[in-house]
Amino acid sequence: MNPNRPIPRSSVMEIEAYVPGKSGAPGAMKVYKLSSNETPLGPSPKAVAAFREAAGSLELYPDGAATRLRVAIGERYGLDPQRIVCGNGSDDLLHLIASAFVGEGDEGVFTEHGFLVYRIAILAAGGSPVVVPEKNLTADVDAILAAVSPRTKIVFIANPNNPTGTYLPISEVKRLHAGLAPHVVLVLDHAYAEYVTRDDYANGLELANAHPNIVVTHTFSKIHGLASLRIGWAYGHPVVCDAVNRIRGPFNVNGAALEAGIAAIGDIDHVNAAIAHNDHWRSWLEAQIAELGLKVTPSVGNFVLMHFPDEPGKSAADADAFLSARGLVLRRVSAYGLPNALRMTVGAEEPNRLVVEALTEFVAGKL
């Protein structure tokens, strides 16, 4: 008997739609949005100029192969442009990779506080999500390998991870890869990689060069400040790129985004300024917040995760309401399994100082 209406696949109906960080604070005179990990420096002026120039040819379809952008990325990182695929943000690429390699009956693995899109991408492809416990809010290689089964087709690792800010050193990434079967795709999501300055960290591109089952994804949304334009890129084996190119949209990166991305990837001075700003203010925020008696998870990204007591009047929900009333918009991370924490983007000097001042009042009980 046929149903009397369309019936979505059961795995699709298991998806909880992604909810971005809030951007407003009703009643506040001025709003400082620190909920989406956007760079306070904004985009490169060269990218803005390229975007404006692109406005003169909006009637033309963009290059469906993103050729010049792939060449620019290749020149910046010493990569083969033929092994680069560009997408409508790295989220687009995460979905495409999952769709290419995961099907009904397959499993995809990610960690308990990993990016919410991994679960969505696996379910959308018809697979089953396998969630692995973390250790000290950090991906646990042994636990991940223990969770891998004959049905596993993909493993997602955000490195560094959002929203915790923790990371795996390259030695642990290599150990993880060594424990996976050759047909299992290891996706290294490096949305925040440019911010990491630790000696034991690597961006994974060399590993992707050497191993056909490693794919590295990057975004222009964070350090390059082009979140509104939605540009991402992936680097992997030609077999992976071929599969993704077969299913992606024919013009999945718009023309203005392509031009802005080309300009942004070449502006190394702007990137270095963003790194320097972030290093200074992230360290300052971590120290100031810790002095208030709040636990802070050490971060290598452009955000700070702070933890609150599970007590009436002192909880993360209470702190969020207190800050929002003052126009300071942070990110609740309950959906990530962290109901007693708030994530704060490292902002410009003014909002950084205002958050610390407000938290000082909140902790002191000046409600």
Number of structural domains (the chain) is 2
The first and second tokens of residue 92, run together, are: 């687009």
Mean pLDDT of the chain: 95
CA atoms within 13 A on the CB side of 255: 12
Tens of pLDDT, residues 301-312: 999 999 999 999
**Statement: residue 296 has pLDDT above 80:** yes
pLDDT of residue 21: 74
**Statement: residue 367 has pLDDT above 60:** no
Total-model pTM? 0.94
Per DSSP bridges, beta strands 152-158 and 107-111 are: parallel
For residue 163, is the peptide bond before it cis, meaning its omega torsion is within 30 degrees of 0? yes
pLDDT of residue 26: 75
**Statement: residue 138 has pLDDT above 60:** yes
CATH number at residue 157: 3.40.640.10
Same domain? For 132 and 178 the reply is: yes
**Statement: residue 22 has pLDDT above 90:** no
Please say which residue of 218, 233, 267 terminates a domain: 267
Tens of pLDDT, residues 184-194: 999 999 999 99
**Statement: residue 240 has pLDDT above 80:** yes
Please say which residue of 267, 290, 321 terminates a domain: 267
Under a CB-based contact definition with an 8 Å cutoff, are residues 103 and 243 in contact? no
pLDDT of residue 17: 78
Please say which residue of 224, 246, 267 terminates a domain: 267
Q: Give the residue numbers spanning the domain of 240.
A: 45-267
pLDDT of residue 187: 98
Q: How confident is the model at residue 171 (pLDDT cuts 50, 70, 90)?
A: very high
Tens of pLDDT, residues 250-290: 999 999 999 999 999 999 999 999 999 999 999 999 999 99
On whether residue 4 sits in a domain, the answer given is no
Tens of pLDDT, residues 338-351: 999 999 999 999 99
**Statement: residue 141 has pLDDT above 70:** yes
What DSSP letter does each residue of 298-334 carry, written as one string? --SSSEEEEE--SSTTTSHHHHHHHHHTTTEE-EEEG
On whether residue 3 sits in a domain, the answer given is no
CA atoms within 13 A on the CB side of 265: 22
Q: Which of 200, 101, 188 is nearest to 144 (CA)?
A: 188
**Statement: residue 9 has pLDDT above 90:** no
Same domain? For 229 and 295 the reply is: no
Same domain? For 78 and 220 the reply is: yes
pLDDT of residue 347: 98
Q: How confident is the model at residue 6 (pLDDT cuts 50, 70, 90)?
A: confident
Q: 155 vs 16, which has greater pLDDT?
A: 155
